[in-house]
Each structure stands twice: as structure tokens, then as C-alpha cells.
Structure 1
Amino acid sequence: MAKLRKTGLIESRQGAGSFGNSGPGDRTSGYGALDPVANISGYFVFRKVIEAEGAARAAQNVQPADIDTLRSIVEGIETRIEAGQATAALDAEFHTSFRCCLTTASLAKP
């Protein structure tokens, strides 16, 4: 998601989700625009599968300190939402911390 945002292919809107953009004009990133709607829908189906599998594997490896870290970040996100503030930085921090719960060994499991 971060790479798609960075390249301008999606735009994340607080409380609303992620939306496809026409993307950068030069198309040197290797990604096409997320259009038409069928492509966008397919992207989200793909994302659901990947995120569900990642969550299952992270749950097998998570440590109490990881849970504390993730919980703290989520509380920070909720506080910012209530205050009407941006949450993108905390969202990125959450996903980075979440990714640390995945080990190479867990990713290698069928």
C-alpha cells in the first residue's frame, strides 16, 4: 500500500479507505492505473487474501511485547481519529511492526 501511495496510484483517505488514482503521468513505475472498477475490486480481493494469511502466520509468532506495541499503535490511531488528525504515519508504523511478527520460517510454511 505504501508503495502504491508513494507512486500516486492510490490515495488513502482517513476513515474512508484507499482509492485508485490515474497515477503518475510517466508510468515508469511499472504499475498501471487501477481502473476500471473490476481491476480495483480484484486488487482488494488480492489484498484480503494476503492480509488474512499474514495475520494467521503472525499470530503463530507474535510475542507479548509485539502485542503491546501493536495495541499502543492502534490506541494512538483511535485517538487521532477522534481528534480528526491524520493517521497515515501510525498506520505505516502498525504495518511495519506487524511485519516484524512474521519470520522467514513462517513465510516458508505451506
Structure 2
Amino acid sequence: MIDVTSRETGRGTVEVTVRGDLDAVTAAGLRHVLDGIGPVRLELDLTGVGFCDCAGARLLLRTGERLRAHGGALVVLRPSAPVLRLLGLLGLDRHLPVGGAVGASRTGGGD
């Protein structure tokens, strides 16, 4: 199960907070929310994500590409250690801006 909350923070920024597992089953629900967000700066808080698989990572990459194509941006805020590790393993930490990582160091990535 996944819990998603969204709020406009002003100045063209939307913050979406995700809690739960981000996997092939739950990615569709999150995709529905993210696809409804227009060309803004999207700050995606992943502090509460305990597990993320390739379907979740693919959704993050696709959302970032879609927003950039329309003048927006995706920033992954405070990813949990499992999310940060997966982004590093897949090399996506070089394509998605990451801020305030919960998993203190950025080891295990493709650096």
C-alpha cells in the first residue's frame, strides 16, 4: 500500500509526499497523481518509502523527463536509504536531482 499527499507550496512548486512501498503494484497509483501535475517544480519527498523497485525508479525517471520537456523540474527530496541505493545502482542519481538524502552518504552508487 502507498499513501500520497500533495500540496502547492507556492511560486510554481508542488510538494508530493510518498509513504509505503513504491513497486510495480503501487507505481500506477502514484503515476496517476504525478501525471496530473503540470509543468512546475515538483518536490517529491520519499522519506517514507521503505522499498522501491525498478518500476518505481522508472516512474521517477519518466516523470522527470516529462516535466523537463515542458519547462518544469523534478527534485527527489530526502530519499530513504533503499531509494537512494537503487537510484545509485541504476545511475539515476546522475539524472535526477536529489536533495537532503536520509541515507546519510551516497555510497553504493555508480560514482
Fold shared per TM-score above 0.5 = no
Give the strand-richer structure, 1 or 2: 2
Greater helix percent: which structure? 1
Compute the TM-score of the two structures, normalised by the length of structure 1.
Answer: 0.25
